[in-house]
Structure 1
Amino acid sequence: MARVLEICAGSVQSAVAAQAGGAHRIELCQNLEQGGITPSHGLIERVLQRLTIPVFVLIRPRPGHFCYDADEQAIMAADIAQCRALGCAGVVLGALGEAGHVDLDCCRALIAAAGPLQITFHRAFDVCQDQTRALEEIIGLGCHRVLTSGGQASALAGQAQLAALVRQAAGRIAILPGAGITPDTLPPLIKSTGAREFHASAKRLVASPAAANKTEFDAPRWETDAAIVAELVAQLNS
């Protein structure tokens, strides 16, 4: 089976660059600085107009922990319905209970709302107290993949656990390593984990216009670089 590169994109520009570099799909979100939240209707719609590769959308109503109340669950269900109506290929979701286990009731409701869309369980998995148990529960929910760093700050640091998860999954679900994947870290991860799909942002810092006056609203802006994406794709194909 061919290896797959998913690019996390937070803008139209990053999404277009990901496709130009040869990415196989994108995860679309906003507010990457705080781990990502659900992108706006306008952003989703515009990206779908510009891209031909599959677009998965992050379903996360706010930054912070992954325990959601009834209002937040309703928001996520509505956002998933919007993704279906717009023609997205998949959604990226996850919810935990206060004890640090998968919130099965919430996840079942969200997955039902997604209908035929592909389902990725996001990095809430890395907060789970028992990843062995959590993986079995996520498989039982019918998810197609798990985005994870192996419970560590980066996929490279978590590579031993990622390899263990790939073995446990045994082809029943895809393990999607993510966090800190670059052209320097991807080759050892390919070799050590046995994973077939990888998640990266491939981003670079974008300079502000020279003539722009600096204000309190200025913040560093990072965008996906097509050349970095192309290098990652070449490594996956080598």
Structure 2
Amino acid sequence: MKNKNLEIACFNLESAIIAQQYGADRVELCDNMFEGGTSPKVEIARKVRDELNIKMNVMIRPRGGNFVYNDAEFEHMKLEIQQFKKINVDGFVFGILNEDNSFDFKRNKELVKLASPIPCTFHRAFDIVSNVYKSLELVIDCGFKTVLTSGQGENVMDGIEVLTTLVEKAKGRIVVMPGGGLRSSNIVMLDQEINATFYHSSAIIDSSEIANGNEVERIKNAL
């Protein structure tokens, strides 16, 4: 039995319900798809939590754009983690960089500690870090349990070589979760090459912001 899991990025309640119905193992709840995902509203997250039996991670990101945050934005991220902990989320997804795109160890560590015992995923800010393999070690040392990445490519197919190396270097110390342009059309080849344990997709195949149930099912069945 292959132990492979699928996370679906969801931007609304409808997508989360579809993701669960068609076999996803976890949802990543966020808002603002066209900004690459930001923190969802607490009320929406509470509704999604009530509807789901599968795990639900939430994005902690105060705005779109870069991943360098000022003091007010950082304080807001801390406040959001405290709010979401009250509704029994299963994980937090965030990432903070320094101005030179290096990994901000101090601030990330502070958020990981605040989130504890809830596990944290370092998101696709990882795709612009200045030293990808050194940064992997820092993400692990910081206490993250998962890193979501396209292997620093425009999408997972572009980053397939880096993703393969990241999985090898991780040696089970952290889950390297490929995401970014992952679809049913490329998952079989990706999995054969990378052999990750967790994969990430929005399963959106049109111009809407709604996950496609058949696409979720196709990806899951290919794993």
- Structure 1 CA distance for aligned equivalents of residues 182 and 138 of structure 2: 26
Q: Offset of 1:72 from its aligned partner?
A: 0.5
Is the contact between residue 92 and residue 115 of structure 2 (CA under 8 Å) also seen in structure 1? Answer: yes
Residue 235 of structure 1 aligns with which residue? 222
- Structure 2 CA distance for aligned equivalents of residues 196 and 189 of structure 1: 12
Residue 86 of structure 1 aligns with which residue? 87
- Structure 2 CA distance for aligned equivalents of residues 129 and 109 of structure 1: 21
Q: Offset of 1:222 from its aligned partner?
A: 2.2
Q: Offset of 1:203 from its aligned partner?
A: 1.2
Is the contact between residue 57 and residue 90 of structure 1 (CA under 8 Å) also seen in structure 2? Answer: yes
Does residue 173 of structure 1 match 2:170?
A: no
- Structure 2 CA distance for aligned equivalents of residues 204 and 47 of structure 1: 22
Residue 212 of structure 2 aligns with which residue? 225
Is the contact between residue 109 and residue 143 of structure 2 (CA under 8 Å) also seen in structure 1? Answer: no
- Structure 1 CA distance for aligned equivalents of residues 136 and 82 of structure 2: 26
Residue 20 of structure 2 aligns with which residue? 19
Structure 1 runs of 4+ aligned residues shifted over 3 Å read none
Query: Based on CA coordinates, which of the two structures has the bigger radius of gyration?
Result: 1
Residue 59 of structure 1 aligns with which residue? 60
Q: Offset of 1:59 from its aligned partner?
A: 0.5
Instruction: For structure 1, list consecutive stretches of 5 or more residues without a partner in the other structure.
Output: 206-219
Instruction: Report the AA paired with residue 119 of structure 1.
Output: C
Instruction: Report the AA paired with residue 91 of structure 1.
Output: F
Residue 155 of structure 2 aligns with which residue? 154
- Structure 2 CA distance for aligned equivalents of residues 232 and 48 of structure 1: 23
Q: Offset of 1:135 from its aligned partner?
A: 0.2
- Paired residues, what number? 222
Post-superposition Cα deviations, 1:199-237, rounded to whole Å, max 9, x if no partner, equal 0011143xxxxxxxxxxxxxx53200111111111001x
Residue 132 of structure 2 aligns with which residue? 131
- Give 3-state SS (helix, strand or coil) of 2:61's partner: coil
Post-superposition Cα deviations, 1:44-85, rounded to whole Å, max 9, x if no partner, equal 000001001010000100000001111011000011111111
- Structure 2 CA distance for aligned equivalents of residues 175 and 31 of structure 1: 24
Instruction: Report the AA paired with residue 8 of structure 1.
Output: A
Give the fraction of aligned pairs with identical amino acids, expressed as a percent.
34
Post-superposition Cα deviations, 1:71-119, rounded to whole Å, max 9, x if no partner, equal 0110000111111111100000110001211101110111111011111
- Give 3-state SS (helix, strand or coil) of 1:139's partner: helix
Q: Offset of 1:21 from its aligned partner?
A: 0.6
Instruction: Report the AA paired with residue 120 of structure 2.
Output: I
Q: Offset of 1:187 from its aligned partner?
A: 0.7
Is the contact between residue 204 and residue 212 of structure 2 (CA under 8 Å) also seen in structure 1? Answer: yes
Residue 189 of structure 2 aligns with which residue? 188
- Structure 2 CA distance for aligned equivalents of residues 54 and 28 of structure 1: 10
- Structure 2 CA distance for aligned equivalents of residues 97 and 179 of structure 1: 23
- Structure 2 CA distance for aligned equivalents of residues 8 and 58 of structure 1: 10
- Give 3-state SS (helix, strand or coil) of 1:110's partner: helix
Instruction: For structure 2, list consecutive stretches of 5 or more residues without a partner in the other structure.
Output: none
- Structure 2 CA distance for aligned equivalents of residues 204 and 4 of structure 1: 20
Is the contact between residue 204 and residue 222 of structure 1 (CA under 8 Å) also seen in structure 2? Answer: no
Residue 9 of structure 1 aligns with which residue? 10
- Give 3-state SS (helix, strand or coil) of 1:61's partner: coil
Residue 209 of structure 1 aligns with which residue? none
Residue 163 of structure 1 aligns with which residue? 164
TM (norm. structure 2) is 0.98
